[in-house]
Structure 1
Amino acid sequence: MLFKSLLVSALLCAMVSTANGCDKEPPADGNYLELPAGGSFTVEIATNRAFTTFGHNKNFNGYFGGPQELEYTSGGCVSYPNLHTPNQTLAPGTIFAISYQNSIDKVTLENLVVFTVRYKTPWQRVTSYDVPKDLPPCPPGGCTCAWGWIPMGCGQPNMYMQGHKCMVTGSTSTKKLAIAKPPVYCENDRSKCVKGAKQMVYYFQKDGNNVFNVPKMPTYNEVMGFSEGAQNDIFEDSNLVSIVG
């Protein structure tokens, strides 16, 4: 199914904080982002819902989630839609994370686990993400998910995060997610990469950060130890031998 994800700073909503009121506007009952275990799901990434099929034009089919004629800064960065990158090759990656809590008030850094990564995003409007085959069913009322993106540059440091109510479908798995650990910068030393369940990256904040003093932007790719695709090592009994690289 298609589900919109809007890349605008007004929608930043940290799962561990309700200060900006995101928790006061939940989706309608029964409206979930469906996550087919062992399959993939598709979202629409845009600067505004007008550039998605959720806008006034239900047949919108633009490649970009914004104006189709890209605008660039003098430094060569795409400025509109504001993708914070010169091109798709340098787009750093985005993720979805999941918490098996049906209330946002119970979501923590430790139980919100990154379960899928897509390199070279955000770029095009329609984007798909892979789901681990062993992701277990959600509790009654669904799970809480988050979409995340940390740009590589082309502007001031930013941390994008958006919450969703989600539901795992087609799963009979009884596995449990391991406690998520903070990711570690490991671009130049793969032995430092954190294996298994990892937290989202929290950076650039006054407090609550879980990544510190990194030599470059802590993006969602091999720089921070995230492999592309479904994260199949996030369970309590996962084999943690393999790492990125």
Structure 2
Amino acid sequence: MTLKFLVLSSLALLTNAHMAAFHKAMYCFNGTASGQVNYNNDDPVSPLWMLKKSDYWFHHVNQCDDFPPAPGDFLELPAGSSFTVEVAANRGVTSLSFNGQFATDWGDGGNHPNDYSVANLAGAPLSSSGCIGNPNMHTQNQSMAAGTAFAISYQSDISQVTMDNLAVFTVRYNTPWKRVTSYDVPKDMPACPADGCTCAWVWIPNGCGEPNIYMQGFKCMVTGATSTTPIATPKPPVWCEEDQSTCTQGAKQILIWNQAEGNNIAVSGFDLSGNPKSPAYNSKCGFQDGEGFHALVAIGNVVSDTSPQEHRMTSLVHRPLPPQRLQQLLHHPHLLPPRPHQLLDRLHQLWRHRLLHHPHHLLHHLLHHLLHHT
């Protein structure tokens, strides 16, 4: 029996398989059998549903997190540029196995039309839920793919990574889709410790089957870093499709949903398209395509390219001012800080000290500021 026959027999089982991001710096790159290399590895692709945190966290349910990448293997994150992974149902259909001979544009090793959809399957199967079945991307077409993301923790030891130090730093809308997938890296990402950071690839499908989540780990390293501004403690995202002003601002946690414990979001009812709400790494939960460093810092933090004057003003945000200083700002609006969140902070202090006696005074000063600073 030839190697090619064995491989093709294994790949024939990919129908209804799920997806993971493959790279040599991933945990359980070679599988989860000690001392063995599984070139058809699909251990990280299984979905996570109604599990204890000790099982879903970094895919511990099958001990994936117990198999770190080889020493020195990092997923490099070039500050201000992008990086690439291969999103597939099996390592065997990536460039990382069999010299890439079974890799195609798609994550199942198959050939599908560019406008692949449930309306143009070109002979591929439908899933039991009426969606694209192979690869099992949990979507009807590219525009409905929910979005995937990477998060980073500045902890080198994966056992020290928590929800409070793992922050989403990049999002790619309308994925998973094709095998080769690139993600943007904010230019102001700070450097990792000498032993690297820990990253996670995460995804929540938009329906098309069991409402589960995906999470897998990587050893990662920010390269070309120039900023020293630390990433803020991330906060839980919220559903905000109907009103983007209610979205969580700044650094956000990954989404934990439909697990036995540790969920940080709950939804009910229907989204604006009329489908059951499903949290996702897109605008429905306040994530922007590509994201950026603004999504990693606390409101009021200073990024490395601010001017000295902006730095001084930003450092004052949330620091209470004496009433006489607030009175001075009231009579000299040009002294108000230039950035909107700083302005609102100052106006809020004026209101608290009863120096703005009516709501229309607040609006007057806001309009005055906008007229003179835009």
Question: Structure 2 length normalisation: TM-score?
Answer: 0.60
Taking the aligned partners of 2:107 and 2:286, their CA distance within structure 1 comes to 28
1:224 is aligned to 2:261: no
Seen in structure 2, the aligned counterparts of structure 1 residues 131 and 165 have a Cα distance that, compared at 3 Å, is same
Partner of residue 192, structure 1: 246
Partner of residue 3, structure 1: 23
Please list every run of 5 or more consecutive structure 2 residues that lacks an aligned counterpart in the other structure: 1-21, 27-41, 50-54, 113-123, 270-276, 303-338, 342-374
Q: Secondary structure at the match of 1:167?
A: strand
What is the 5 A alignment of 1:132-151?
132-151=186-205
Deviations 1:141-163 (A, max 9, x none): 10000000000011111100110
Seen in structure 2, the aligned counterparts of structure 1 residues 101 and 51 have a Cα distance that, compared at 3 Å, is same
1:73 is aligned to 2:122: no
Taking the aligned partners of 1:195 and 1:240, their CA distance within structure 2 comes to 14
Residue 134 (structure 1) shift:
0.5
Taking the aligned partners of 1:175 and 1:208, their CA distance within structure 2 comes to 29
Residue 183 (structure 1) shift:
0.1
Partner of residue 108, structure 1: 162
Q: Secondary structure at the match of 2:168?
A: strand
Is the 1:94–1:150 Cα contact (8 Å) retained in structure 2? yes
Please list every run of 5 or more consecutive structure 1 residues that lacks an aligned counterpart in the other structure: none
Give 2:297's match in structure 1, choosing from 235, 240, 243: 235
Seen in structure 2, the aligned counterparts of structure 1 residues 180 and 55 have a Cα distance that, compared at 3 Å, is same
1:58 is aligned to 2:86: no
Q: Secondary structure at the match of 2:159?
A: helix
The structure with the larger Rg is: 2
* Aligned-pair identity (%): 52
1:164 is aligned to 2:218: yes
Taking the aligned partners of 1:214 and 1:180, their CA distance within structure 2 comes to 24
What is the 5 A alignment of 1:173-192?
173-192=227-246
Residue 74 (structure 1) shift:
6.3
Residue 207 (structure 1) shift:
0.4
Deviations 1:196-236 (A, max 9, x none): 00000000100011112343100110000001103221124
Taking the aligned partners of 2:73 and 2:261, their CA distance within structure 1 comes to 32
Deviations 1:56-114 (A, max 9, x none): 13355411010335422365411121111111110010000000000011101010000
Taking the aligned partners of 1:90 and 1:177, their CA distance within structure 2 comes to 31
Is the 2:59–2:216 Cα contact (8 Å) retained in structure 1? no
Structure number with greater CO (CA < 8 Å, separation at least 6) is 1
Larger helix fraction of residues:
2
Seen in structure 2, the aligned counterparts of structure 1 residues 111 and 26 have a Cα distance that, compared at 3 Å, is same
Residue 8 (structure 1) shift:
1.4
Taking the aligned partners of 1:240 and 1:104, their CA distance within structure 2 comes to 38
Larger strand fraction of residues:
1
Taking the aligned partners of 1:64 and 1:123, their CA distance within structure 2 comes to 7
1:211 is aligned to 2:270: no
Seen in structure 2, the aligned counterparts of structure 1 residues 75 and 113 have a Cα distance that, compared at 3 Å, is closer
1:36 is aligned to 2:78: yes
Seen in structure 2, the aligned counterparts of structure 1 residues 75 and 158 have a Cα distance that, compared at 3 Å, is closer
Instruction: Count matched residues.
Output: 240
Give 1:25's match in structure 2, choosing from 36, 59, 67: 67
Is the 1:185–1:214 Cα contact (8 Å) retained in structure 2? no
